[in-house]
Chains A and B, each alone.
Chain A
C-alpha cells in the first residue's frame, strides 16, 4: 500500500481530501494563480460556506485546503500562538479532513496558516504562509463603495491612504496606525497585510516564502510572491518605524521579538512574553532564560 493511501485512511471517512470538493479547489487555485501573477491585487473568488463562522479564518482555511497536499506539514498560529482556540481547531480540521502531518515548529512546516502574525523565525523557500484576512480592502474605511475602490486600484490612486496617514501625524505627531499598516507591493498595488502588527511588515519584504491571503466573508484572495518588494507607506519626514519594546521576553529573554502582555492577577502582576510561542519555546530549549516576572508597580 502506498504512503498516499495510508495518509488518506487516517483522514475522516466521507470527506474529500482537505474537505473541499474538487471543483471548488480548482476555482480557488485559479484565483491563487492570478493573485500570484498580479502581486497585491485582490482576486474575487466564490468563497464557500465552511464549517466555521466568518471571522474564524474561513478565507485562510479555503486557501490552505486548495494548496495542501498529503506530503505537506501544516502549522497553524493565532496571534503567534499554536495553542489557542482558533489555531487548535483549524489544525485539527486539517488533521481530520486531510490526514496531513502537523507541527508547531516554524522551521519544519511547509504550509503555515496564520491569524495576525508572521513567525519570528526567517521563512525559507518552499514554505507557504497563508494569512486569514477579515477586511482585504485597505481603502474600505476611507471609501465604502467597492465600485470606487476597484477604480482607485485601477488608477493606482492612493492619495486617500496618504491623507489618512497624514491625519495621524497631524493629530498625534506620528503615524498612529499600529496594525494592518498599508503596504505597496512591487511598486504598484496598495495592500492590506491583514491585521498583523506593523512590527511584522518588514518581514514581508523580500521574503523567501510565498505569502497568500484569503478573505472568506469578503471573497478575495491576494498574494505576494517570494522575493518581492513590499514597502510600508510613509513620508520622507515621517519614515516607517516599527514599535520597540523596552524590555526583553520574561521567559526567553529575546530582545527582538514581538511581546504580548499577560496579566497574572488583579493586583498589577503581569508578564511580557513572546507572542510567537514556537520562537519562545525554541529559545528556552536552547538554554536562553528571561528575567522572569518584574516587581509590580507599587
Chain B
C-alpha cells in the first residue's frame, strides 16, 4: 500500500471523551451485518471494475454523515482498514463528523497526502486534485496506487463517454456527472501510462461504476 513509508498523521480522538454512564456522542451505525454487507459491497465493486462503464447495484449506508454519501461510506467501510489509508477531499475534510465516522468504523488512518492513500474519497469531483497528486504505482509495483472513489449525481448507460478495454465487449457508453473538468484527459493519461495509473470508482445513489486504468476513452465518430 502506498502509505507504508508515510509518517502517520497525528490522529485526533475519533470519539468525544465519554462521560461515565453515558453513551459517547453519536457516531452513526455502520453495516448491520459487517461480514455479509461488506461482501456485497465488494462484489458490486468487483463487478464494476471487471465490467468498466457498466454500472452495478450498490446498497449504500443511509446513515452516513453528510457530505459523505451512502455509497462512499459503504465502499470505505468494506475496503479500508489500518493497512489501507483514506484521503478525504476538501469538502469531506471540512466535516469533522466524516473523519470520526470513518476512523471509528474502519480503523484506517485518514491522511492529508493524497499519494499516501489507498482510497481517496471525493465528494466534490469538480475540486479533485490532479492525477499526479495521487499514487500511480511504480513500473515494478503498479498495484501500489490510489483508487479514487468519486461521488457523482448520476450514472447513465448508453450516453456520454465511449469506452473500450478489458472487461468491455466491444464498446460501452457511460454518462456520469459531475466529474472533474479534465476527466477525459485523466483517462488518456491512464491509457498512456499503463500499467501505471489510477483506478476510478464512480458512485451514484444506489449504483457504482468502475473505470480502471485499463479502460480507454474512444474518440467519437
Contact = CB atoms under 8 A, between A and B. Distances in A.
B46 interface: yes
What interface size band does chain A fall in?
A: 35 or more
Given A33-B79, A38-B214, 11 more contacts: A29-B79, A33-B49, A70-B36, A125-B51, A151-B140, A186-B165, A224-B166, A225-B50, A226-B51, A226-B167, A227-B167
A100 to B, nearest CB: 11
Nearest to A221: B143
B213 interface: yes
Contact of A186 (B33, B36, B214): B214
B169 interface: yes
Interface string B93-116: 000000000000000000000000
Interface of B: 33-36, 38-40, 42-43, 45-47, 49-51, 78-81, 83-84, 118, 139-143, 145, 147, 165-169, 194-195, 199, 212-214
Q: What 4 A-B pairs have minimum CB-CB distances, sorted nearest first?
A: A37-B212, A154-B139, A225-B167, A34-B143
B194 A188 contact: yes
Nearest to B201: A33
B138 to A, nearest CB: 8
Contacts, number: 112
A282 to B, nearest CB: 26
Contacts of A229: 166
Nearest to A156: B195
B69 to A, nearest CB: 20
Interface of A: 4, 16-17, 22-23, 25-27, 29-39, 41, 43-44, 66-70, 125, 150-151, 153-155, 185-186, 188-189, 206, 210, 223-229
A32 B46 contact: yes
Contacts of B139: 154-155
Given A37-B49, A210-B50, A225-B167, A67 B143 contact: no
A188 B195 contact: yes
Given A26-B84, A33-B49, A226-B50, A41 B166 contact: no
A109 to B, nearest CB: 15
Contact of A36 (B39, B79, B81, B212): B212
